[in-house]
Amino acid sequence: MEKQHIYITRKIPNELLQPYQEQFHFSMWEKESEPVPREVLLEKVEHVAGILCLLTDQIDEEVFNKAKHLQLVANMAVGYDNIDVEAAKARQVVVTNTPDVLTETTADLTFALLMATARRIVEANEFIKKDEWKDWSPFLLAGSDIHHQTIGIVGMGRIGEAVARRAKGFGMNILYYNRSRKMEAEQELDATYVSFEKLLTEADFVVCLTPLTSDTHQIFNKQAFEKMKQSAIFINASRGMTMDEQALYEALKAGEIKAAGLDVFATEPIRASHPLLELDNVVCLPHIGSASVATRENMIKLCLENLSSYFKGHGAKTPVE
């Protein structure tokens, strides 16, 4: 059987590729911490049957037009807003993502971010490092309680449910808003389905875990932040484009909401000069939701399994839509 050509847009460990060397001829962008330049991507995809790409790569019309032999795009992420799925469909190119393998890891990080923001963990760490700790005092770095508060989860997919399970362990009251109702989650987790507006007005923690689509683009806008409680904490671990960053900045600065924990930004990476970083009540992370070594390896493995299964004629394991 002739080996299929696969282009990998970032350096990944050779030992993960090893089991597939018989089936594929791989070529790869050899840098680990730098995305492949656009012109290199466009050149490299010309003769390939498959691409293993990251969320930093825009796989759009231009790429599909170049990649005349392309059959499958394996995205190393559960979110796939970096891929023009309609353009892929029109050319019968299969797109796969990495659901399930990252659910618990991403939920851990989301809850860690919620806790760090509520209890001012990062600020407290900085406080000691800057040698500002002179004494114990009643309200020194006092934050917000988490236990028995109300969490509002926007986007009750797999990760939303996993966050809800953690919230249940903290005795939280769970509200959620989603495209469709999740009856099992309601039963298992005592989660209550509410409208987006009700969630915004009632939640102490508003947690965004919804995929980025044309419907969710900037759903967290000025009006949304205005509806939240003044004591509300906003957490975003999905995609930065779900929020209007300027509106968030203004809401935080004006004290319309209390704090924010962000793992994602409208344009990534952000620089140290980003306005949100001026604010003490914001905890920012560099999009590390799924970043445990084991999970990142599992995500890569799932991409490779998708490619392997598809090209053996057994179909992709986790195609999108």
> Where on the chain is the footprint of ligand DGY (CB under 6 A)?
55, 77-79, 102, 289-290
Beta strands (DSSP E) in the chain are: 4-8, 24-28, 50-53, 72-75, 94-96, 150-154, 173-177, 192-193, 205-208, 233-236, 259-262, 282-284
Please check whether residue 257 is in contact with residue 233, taking contact to mean a CB–CB distance below 8 angstroms: yes
CB of 79 to ligand DGY, least distance (A): 3
CB of 318 to ligand DGY, least distance (A): 12
CB of 98 to ligand DGY, least distance (A): 6
Minimum CB distance to ligand DGY smaller for 54 or for 189: 54
Minimum CB distance to ligand DGY smaller for 234 or for 311: 234
Minimum CB distance to ligand DGY smaller for 194 or for 319: 319
Which member of 10, 120, 166, 287 is catalytic? 287
Minimum CB distance to ligand DGY smaller for 55 or for 303: 55
Q: Which pair of tokens denotes residue 124?
A: 């407290």
Q: Which pair of tokens denotes residue 246?
A: 């300027």
Closest CA to 300 of 5, 14, 2: 14
Minimum CB distance to ligand DGY smaller for 201 or for 298: 298
> Residue type for 186, please?
E
Integer angstrom CA distances of residue 78 from 1, 234, 265: 31, 22, 17
Integer angstrom CA distances of residue 122 from 26, 140, 260: 42, 14, 12
What phi-psi label fits residue 251: left (phi over 0), alpha (psi between -120 and 50 degrees) or beta? alpha
Has 239 been annotated as catalytic?
yes
CB of 78 to ligand DGY, least distance (A): 4
Which member of 10, 120, 166, 239 is catalytic? 239
CB of 68 to ligand DGY, least distance (A): 28
Has 287 been annotated as catalytic?
yes
Minimum CB distance to ligand DGY smaller for 281 or for 295: 295
| Burial grade of 11 (CB within 10 A; 0-12, 13-18, 19 or more) | middle
Residues, the chain, total?
A: 321
CB of 70 to ligand DGY, least distance (A): 21
Q: Give the catalytic positions in this structure.
A: 239, 268, 287
